[in-house]
Amino acid sequence: MLGRIYQLVAGLVIVLGLAYAFSQLSAFGSFLSLFGGMLLGWSLQAPVSGFAAWVLVSIKRPFRPGDRIQFPNLSLVGDVKDVGIMYTRLDQVGGTIGSEEAVGCSILVPNAILFSQVVINYTVMQEAPYMLDEVVVRITYDSDWNRAELILVDLAIRYVYSYRAGAASAKSSVRRTPCSRTLLPASPS
């Protein structure tokens, strides 16, 4: 590493010496400043973009620590742990196992991605009494589907009532007829 720095400095000294020897130092200096400015702008593009995204996140607050967010194009879901100047730290949810629990994998997402990626915040409305979730239950063709749906809806309602601290507010926020959908394959094989 140090040897490469010495080689770079030596090459620069040789080029400057040759330019001085040919009395072209002023023209070479303006070329070097133009090229240096372009190189500096190109190399600082990501940090400046990351800083601008941090300012946007700090002012607009599209998500906060504790929120569950998703980057659909990156197939990434996580709970926001920290929003730093250059990176947002997520605790990954699901990962390769596809669950909804944190897997303990800390992911650093560059803030500059926020300008080019869609971000879905699942907990944007903290005052909302619910969070939509989907549970897949496989039932055989021989089962009584209406009875299975009644059992599952009853369990879901009882879980919501017991989970909420104020049972009265939970009862008023739950639909009278819960939503369920049935997806059938074309034909059993």
Residue 101 is predicted with a pLDDT of: 72
Residues of the domain holding 157 = 129-184
Q: Quick one: pLDDT at residue 90? A: 92
**Domain co-membership, 117 together with 146:** no
Please tell me the predicted confidence (pLDDT) of residue 109: 92
- Quote the number of domains for the chain: 3
Burial label, 109 (beta-carbon count in 10 A; 0-12, 13-18, 19+)? buried
116 and 70 in a single domain? The answer is: yes
Q: Which pLDDT score is estimated for 25?
A: 61
> Residues 133, 179: one domain?
yes
pTM of the model: 0.53
**Residue 60 belongs to a domain with what CATH number?**
2.30.30.60
Closest C-alpha to 161, from 150, 174, 151, 148: 174
Give the helix ranges, DSSP H, for the chain.
Answer: 2-21, 25-43, 45-60, 145-163, 167-173
Is there a single domain that holds both residue 78 and residue 140? no
Same domain, 56 and 95: yes
Instruction: Give the C-alpha separation, 99 to 92, whole Å.
Output: 11
Same domain flag for 52 and 108: yes
What is residue 177's predicted lDDT score, i.e. its pLDDT?
A: 47
Q: What is the pLDDT of residue 108?
A: 92
Whether residue 35 sits in one domain with residue 60 = no
Q: Per-residue pLDDT for the chain (189 aa), expressed as one digit of tens each?
A: 567 778 878 888 887 777 776 666 666 667 777 787 888 888 888 888 888 888 888 888 888 888 888 888 888 888 899 998 889 999 988 766 666 677 788 899 999 888 888 988 887 665 555 556 667 778 888 888 888 888 888 887 777 666 554 544 544 554 444 555 555 555 555
